[in-house]
Amino acid sequence: MKRTNSGRLTALKDQPLFLVVLLIMILIGVSTLTRIVLLFKAAGGVDFSLVNILGIFGIGFVYDLINAAYFVLPLVLYIWLSSRKVWKRTWHRWFTIFLFFIFVFGLLFNAVSEWVFWDEFSSRFNFIAVDYLVYTNEVVGNIQQSYPVGLIISLLTGLTIGLIFAIRSIVNAADNQQYEFKKRTIAFVSYIVLLIVLFPLISNKYRQFSQNTYVNELAGNGLYELFSAYLNNELDYDQFYSKLPEQDAFIRIRSLIKTPESQFVNNDPFSIERTITHKGEEKKMNVVLISVESLSADFLGVFGNTQSITPNLDSLAAQSLLFTNLYATGTRTVRGLEALSICTPPTPGQSIVRRPKNEGLFSMGRVFEQKGYESKFIYGGYGYFDNMGYFFANNSYTVVDRTALAKKDIDYENIWGVADENLFTLASREIEKTTQAGKPVFAHIMTTSNHRPYTYPDGRIDIPSHTNREGAVKYTDYAIGQFIRNASKTAWFKNTMFVIVADHCASSAGKTDLPVNKYKIPLMIFAPGYIKPDKMNRLMSQIDLGPTILGLLNFSYRSKFFGYDIFKLEPGRERAFISTYQSLGYIRNDSLVILRPQRKVQTYLPNFEDGTAAETNPNIPLTQEAIVWYQTASYQFKNKLMK
């Protein structure tokens, strides 16, 4: 008798293999719902064209299937190894239900995690998520302090139990048909071959079909993106990006990096080492560099903000040398610290702060050390986070973190660190210790309070703790104001240059891959009696801050920095670097060149106000400039020439 389609389906449902089909259906269902929810969340930035919608769900469905192929591997392996006798045992049925509970709960938990991650970064999981898996204490603590974790877990558990109850009869029926070991082995081998074939053929580049960044992110699959980011956490420039012959690139970088006050020390074609010479007496002033967590320029009143959340910084700006056109190199603290300490363009993949073999690099700490200073990196959190402590300790800095504070000295702390006011108390103590010993100090202070969960001591400002980022910004502003006022009463204040800058912006998300307005950060240099209040409006990169500070001190020194002293640079040569871990941007005049993996290069005319960008015809000279900077920086680190 000919078997009907209904009969075939019944036969399939009676086999253990149907459990794999069932799990794939659940995964695709959860992934599709997640995509819909995130689409509504990102609706303001999405271009709702027919092509984009079809791409979001069509390409997204393909990535869901690919993710499912890997996700079901443990279940496929278990089915292959389990005999029919095992499947007939009562305990086995309960074990199968338990397995499905774990799988389904994991999928739902991942969906919620994607929402949380999107809420913070406006993207699917990426290399940041991979990093956070390493620092589980801080990340889990941050989530616990930011969200009602107990309630979320309870709801997910209840929802999972409900779904398992609904499919329990299907799960229990999947052992009624004999499934011989030979057939299981053929199916398992075929499945493994499929995974092996898929692995080199599929990458996340296929979702990059739109000019709208949100659309491309929505077309991805969170779990797949997490796996992809893990495999590509570091990107080799030579392998993935457009390049010039090495000799040509270094001939050009030596021309680009040369400034009037510098002279190359040798004719080595691969060296950028220069002697920086300033006439006159050097100013052995203390330098206090405050890198503020996530301080976008548009938080400040001097940049047009009307919320009055930075009264102290706005007051300081009026008394300082204010830089109005400065761009951060990246979107994470470690990228900002890299730019501020070793003054190099961002290389693709992970920040040098977190890479192996990053010891003994030419750094700001080394220059100050050679001038008789004590260089200190003072951090409100634990130094092990993001490898910051190791990096600075091995690059001419003394590291001081929250462990240097006694409990009685801490008014408030969260998972990221102590309250900024306590950090500044610690910094004042460290500066006092060095200056009283008769040495000048270079203190690089890294704040932490402007970070989710946005908590801080009560009673300091008029926005309650744990309210929003604006409250955290205002609290950090309060702490900086208090620090400057207290410092003004010390003996070391009159001989100190205070430099206040952001590590990166609060958000880097936008409709385009590299929205330029989400990289603009404030910078002010405050030194009453030495530096007159003024504005510097020239385009400037975060990597230029180090050489500019050294220039203001009139220091002569040997340099391996890629940054410029903006006051010595001839007009018209200004440029800036912005990046994600894959996209490398180069701003010059009114153009933006972006280098991407697969050796892609595009040129844009960006809108510096709203971050949108219109693609334009390739600008070959500008493209080659961008390649030269990024290629030579990558070469220098890879070949240990930054040491």
Distance CA 501, CA 452 (A): 20
Tell me the mean pLDDT in the region 274-299: 96
At 233, the pLDDT band (50, 70, 90 cuts) reads: low
Question: Would 580 be classed as within a structural domain?
Answer: no
The pLDDT of residue 234: 64
The pLDDT of residue 181: 78
At 232, the pLDDT band (50, 70, 90 cuts) reads: low
The pLDDT of residue 14: 54
The pLDDT of residue 360: 97
Question: Would 598 be classed as within a structural domain?
Answer: no
- 431 and 470 housed in the same domain: yes
The pLDDT of residue 2: 46
Alpha carbon separation from 280 to 119, 213, 277, 566, 611 (Å, rounded): 52, 51, 10, 19, 43
CA neighbor of 453 nearest in space, from 416, 492, 478, 499: 416
* DSSP H/E element including 596: strand 591-596
Over the stretch 324-341, which tens digit does the pLDDT of each residue have? Answer: 999 999 999 999 999 999
Q: Which pTM does this prediction carry?
A: 0.80
- 40 and 99 housed in the same domain: yes
The pLDDT of residue 487: 98
Over the stretch 430-440, which tens digit does the pLDDT of each residue have? Answer: 999 999 999 99
Over the stretch 131-182, which tens digit does the pLDDT of each residue have? Answer: 666 555 656 666 777 778 889 899 999 999 999 999 888 877 766 555 677 8
Question: Would 491 be classed as within a structural domain?
Answer: yes
- 261 and 214 housed in the same domain: no
The pLDDT of residue 394: 98
Q: Higher confidence at residue 170 or residue 84? A: 170
- 301 and 174 housed in the same domain: no
Of 231, 255, 275, the residue that ends a domain is 231
Q: How much of the chain exceeds pLDDT 70, in percent?
A: 93
Give the CATH number of the domain where residue 335 resides: 3.40.720.10
The pLDDT of residue 199: 81
The pLDDT of residue 377: 98
Over the stretch 484-497, which tens digit does the pLDDT of each residue have? Answer: 999 999 999 999 99
Question: Would 160 be classed as within a structural domain?
Answer: yes
- 272 and 194 housed in the same domain: no
Tell me the mean pLDDT in the region 395-403: 97
Which 8-state DSSP code applies to residue 347?
A: P
Partners of residue 291 on adjacent β-strands: 446, 501
Structure tokens at 608: 């510096």
- 28 and 165 housed in the same domain: yes
Alpha carbon separation from 413 to 106, 377, 455, 456 (Å, rounded): 31, 19, 8, 7
- 482 and 360 housed in the same domain: yes
Distance CA 204, CA 229 (A): 9
The pLDDT of residue 11: 47
- 185 and 289 housed in the same domain: no
The pLDDT of residue 408: 92
The pLDDT of residue 1: 41
Instruction: Annotate 182-238 with DSSP letters as a single string.
Output: HHHHHHHHHHHHHHHHHHHH--GGGG--SS-HHHHHHTS-HHHHHHHHHHTSB--HH
- 334 and 425 housed in the same domain: yes
The pLDDT of residue 116: 85
Of 171, 197, 231, the residue that ends a domain is 231
Tell me the mean pLDDT in the region 282-300: 97
pLDDT over threshold 80, residue 4:
no
The pLDDT of residue 18: 81
Question: Would 241 be classed as within a structural domain?
Answer: no
Structure tokens at 214: 């949100």
Of 13-17, 296-300, 600-604, 611-615, which range is least confident?
A: 13-17
Which 8-state DSSP code applies to residue 265?
A: S
Of 231, 264, 281, the residue that ends a domain is 231
- 313 and 399 housed in the same domain: yes
The pLDDT of residue 139: 64
Distance CA 26, CA 14 (A): 18
Task: State the total domains in the chain.
Answer: 2
Helices 181-201/50-71 angle, 10° precision: 130
Tell me the mean pLDDT in the region 519-526: 98
Question: Would 16 be classed as within a structural domain?
Answer: yes
Question: Would 578 be classed as within a structural domain?
Answer: no
Instruction: Annotate 470-516 with DSSP letters as a single string.
Output: HHHHHHHHHHHHHHHHHHTTSTTGGGEEEEEEESS-S----SSSS-G
- 195 and 291 housed in the same domain: no
Q: Which domain holds residue 43?
A: 5-231
Q: Higher confidence at residue 234 or residue 625? A: 625
The pLDDT of residue 95: 85
The pLDDT of residue 97: 87
* Average of per-residue pLDDT values in the chain: 90
The pLDDT of residue 9: 46
Question: Would 164 be classed as within a structural domain?
Answer: yes
- 270 and 317 housed in the same domain: yes
Other beta carbons less than 10 A from residue 585's beta carbon: 26
